[in-house]
Chains A and B, each alone.
Chain A
Amino acid sequence: MMKNSITLLLMFLMAISLSNCSEPALDDYGDVRFELTDQNGETVIFPDDFEGSPVVMGFIYTHCPDICSFITANVGNVYKELDNPSDVQFVLVTFDPERDTPEVLKNYAAAFDMDREPFQFLTGSADVIDQFMQRVSVRTQESFSRDLENGDRAYFLNHSDKVLLIDQNSKLIFDYGGSMTPVSIIIEDLEKLRS
């Protein structure tokens, strides 16, 4: 009886091991739960609501004029150049929730012609976004600011330049330089997950 149990346990562990052989995970987000809000004001739970199909995820803030628009356009270009992208989710998460409300994200998405399926632009409470960014290893720090004529203060952030590829089981498979990585490389890796 004991011997049979050990054999079954070994077979089970071997099966798990073999199932992970195809793409070794860099992280597994299965143990977390973040409540976020999309550009339409709808609540979204990460990773639960994303399980079942791969996710291409970038990190941005909308006051960023150069690198973040590059990252956003790259995510959009993966969608454009992908053959039949209906089984892939495209997500951009802000690390500046104070200014990036759902409405701001919606306008930002529209400027890139991405305020539509299958693109999601996510924000959340400052605490949740802070915890989320820690978990996905996205770092930020204020760089400089400008006082505007209308009395507002515009501040800018140094930040990680990152796009993640997460598989259908909430496992982090690849971590790219968001603005630097050619779209073709992300597509090549994505196709491995879809095949």
Chain B
Amino acid sequence: MKNPLYLLVFCALIISSCTGQSDRTDESALITGEGIHIEGTWARPATEGRMSATYFLITNFEDEPDTLIGVQSDVAQLVEIHESYQMEGDMMGMREVPQLEIPAQSTVRLQQGGLHVMLIQLTRTLSDGDTFELTLNFANSEDITIEIPARL
């Protein structure tokens, strides 16, 4: 009676071991990824002819820094990298960021109240749930085109 029980435990250990291996492999792939990775994309809904902004995280897995040198989309007449910043007192300002360096092995966060891609004069209305494409040009990496959802 003991032999089948040992066999069952052995099989369970093997299965458990295989599952663990799979998780570790995924985690390892995340840490030692390659190139540029974009995640957490979203944009603020807005009507045609108005302004919006889009936000995401850019991770550079390479050992060398890279630079975001351009952004394009047909969703707006002008698409630019901008940064909101605190001026003196309670004043908030906004300035263009012609190029955005992504340091080696680092993530740069585009978020509300800071860096963002500005969509000037939307060519169509972006309602909650709509999506559009944005192409990012890098100095050292291939262009990346991402799909961005609009959400509240």
Q: Is the CB of B152 within 8 A of A159?
A: no
Say yes or no: A70-B112 contact (C-beta < 8 A), given A107-B47, A161-B91, A179-B92: yes
- The residue of chain A having its C-beta at the shortest distance from the C-beta of B113 within the complex is A179
> CA A144 – CA B80 in complex, angstroms?
13
> CA A143 – CA B120 in complex, angstroms?
15
Q: Is the CB of A113 within 8 A of B47?
A: no
Q: Which of A62, A143, A179 contacts B112 (CB 8 A)?
A: A179
Most-contacted residue by chain A among B87, B94, B128 (CB, 10 A): B94
Q: B72 at the A/B interface (Cβ < 8 Å)?
A: no
What band does the interface of chain B fall in when counting residues whose beta carbon is under 8 Å from A? Answer: 20 to 34
Q: Is the CB of B94 within 8 A of A156?
A: yes
Say yes or no: A180-B119 contact (C-beta < 8 A), given A63-B51, A113-B152, A158-B91: no
Q: Which residues of B contact A154 (CB under 8 A)?
A: 51, 78, 120-121
Interface size on A, residues (CB 8 A): 33
Q: Is the CB of B90 within 8 A of A66?
A: no
Please, what's the 1-or-0 string for B72-99, where 1 marks a CB less than 8 Å from any CB in chain A? 0000011000101011011111111000
Q: B50 at the A/B interface (Cβ < 8 Å)?
A: yes
Q: Which residues of B contact A158 (CB under 8 A)?
A: 87, 91-94
Q: Is the CB of A65 within 8 A of B90?
A: no
A24 to chain B, nearest CB (A): 20
Q: Is the CB of B119 within 8 A of A146?
A: no
Q: Determine the main DSSP class of B at the interface with A.
A: strand
Q: Is the CB of A144 within 8 A of B84?
A: no
* A-B interface contact total, Cβ < 8 Å: 97
Q: Which residues of A contact B128 (CB under 8 A)?
A: 113
> CA A162 – CA B86 in complex, angstroms?
12
- The residue of chain B having its C-beta at the shortest distance from the C-beta of A63 within the complex is B51
Please, what's the 1-or-0 string for A137-159, where 1 marks a CB less than 8 Å from any CB in chain B? 00100011010111010101011
Q: Determine the main DSSP class of A at the interface with B.
A: mixed
Q: Which of B52, B78, B86, B90 contacts A146 (CB 8 A)?
A: B78
Say yes or no: A67-B44 contact (C-beta < 8 A), given A113-B128, A148-B78, A180-B113: no
Say yes or no: A162-B94 contact (C-beta < 8 A), given A66-B112, A73-B152, A113-B152: no
- The residue of chain A having its C-beta at the shortest distance from the C-beta of B90 within the complex is A160
A76 to chain B, nearest CB (A): 8
Q: Which residues of A contact B96 (CB under 8 A)?
A: 144
What 7 pairs between A and B have smallest CB-CB spacing?
A: A65-B51, A65-B53, A158-B93, A161-B92, A107-B47, A111-B45, A160-B90
Q: Jot down 23 A-B pairs with beta carbons below 8 A, ordered by A.
A: A65-B118, A66-B113, A67-B84, A67-B112, A70-B113, A107-B47, A108-B47, A111-B45, A112-B45, A113-B128, A113-B152, A144-B95, A150-B77, A150-B121, A154-B120, A154-B121, A156-B94, A158-B91, A158-B94, A160-B91, A160-B92, A162-B90, A179-B92
